[in-house]
Chains A and B, each alone.
Chain A
């Protein structure tokens, strides 16, 4: 059965096309494009992706306006039913602002916009998103963000670490993130937010393909299910 994915576009999203290309290239089926103002998501989705960009111009806080857009209620419901939801960069910010993931993404400690390829370690390869990677595998994926400095209080960080919810970690002091966290999953493991862009690392010609297996993992899991 064809892989049924949705890519949500907010006003100001700018990685939505890259995300759609990645999903189509790896799954063989073009995702359904969803607009932030759509009242509901299509039925029976296998995967929902919230792309990077600057939704609503980052007004108030990055992701804050998008987290309250009409489509979000439907995304929160789908996440609650176990549909895998991936938020990349601004998508991660939307997931924390909407409460689907704990913590917040603050301005980079250096105050600089950071745009380069960085090394990450797969901390937990038992999630639906990371199962095609090895445990502790190191991968190279681009980042491009101004607000990627992950913050949560110590108790929350300890809980995330203890429950294996830190999915990917930077191998350097990149942006001020607490405990160098690059990406986390929710309690159920079906919502992943990460600042690095796996959709920009899907072909050697474009600098690397370490991001491909994230999509391959999700797609293999859903088609088998």
Chain B
């Protein structure tokens, strides 16, 4: 089972990296960019019987730092092919 974990800084936590990229986009002449937030994608290939609870546990214990980050777990195999 292919899993994609998206880790993002919580709303309200300053993202200096995102801010710097935002400034660079403006420097390149792109207008109308309101905010840039940078996160991390972690792809996992796990046994098909891995429970949602186990995936949550992986995120909480290691993949995300719950003090500053939120996460979303996506099951890629369930996405309909285009």
A residues with CB within 8 A of B: 60-61, 64, 68, 96-97, 102-104, 106-111, 149, 151-153, 176
Distance in Å from the Cβ of B8 to the closest Cβ of chain A?
13
Q: Is B1 an interface residue (CB 8 A)?
A: no
Chain B residues with Cβ below 8 Å from A103 are 67
A-B contact pairs, 11 of them (CB 8 A): A60-B63, A64-B62, A97-B65, A102-B67, A103-B67, A104-B68, A108-B16, A109-B14, A109-B16, A111-B17, A149-B16
Chain B residues with Cβ below 8 Å from A110 are 16
Chain B residues with Cβ below 8 Å from A64 are 62, 65
Query: A151-B13, A151-B68 are known contacts. Are A68 and B62 too (CB-CB below 8 A)?
Result: yes
Chain B residues with Cβ below 8 Å from A149 are 16
Which listed residue, A61, A68, A176, touches B65 by the CB 8 Å rule?
A61
Q: Is B20 an interface residue (CB 8 A)?
A: yes
Chain A residues with Cβ below 8 Å from B68 are 104, 106, 151
Most chain B CB within a 10 A radius of its CB, from A64, A102, A106, A111:
A106
Alpha-carbon distance between A176 and B65 when the two chains are bound, in angstroms:
19
Chain A residues with Cβ below 8 Å from B20 are 111
Alpha-carbon distance between A92 and B67 when the two chains are bound, in angstroms:
15
Determine if B62 and A151 form an interchain contact, defined as CB atoms under 8 angstroms apart. no
Distance in Å from the Cβ of B43 to the closest Cβ of chain A?
14
Distance in Å from the Cβ of A69 to the closest Cβ of chain B?
12
Determine if A107 and B65 form an interchain contact, defined as CB atoms under 8 angstroms apart. no
Chain A residues with Cβ below 8 Å from B65 are 61, 64, 97, 104
Chain A residues with Cβ below 8 Å from B62 are 60, 64, 68
Alpha-carbon distance between A61 and B64 when the two chains are bound, in angstroms:
9
Chain A residues with Cβ below 8 Å from B67 are 96, 102-104, 151-153
Binary per-residue interface labels of chain B (23-62) against chain A in the complex, 1 for a CB within 8 Å, 0 otherwise: 0000000000000000000000000000000000000001
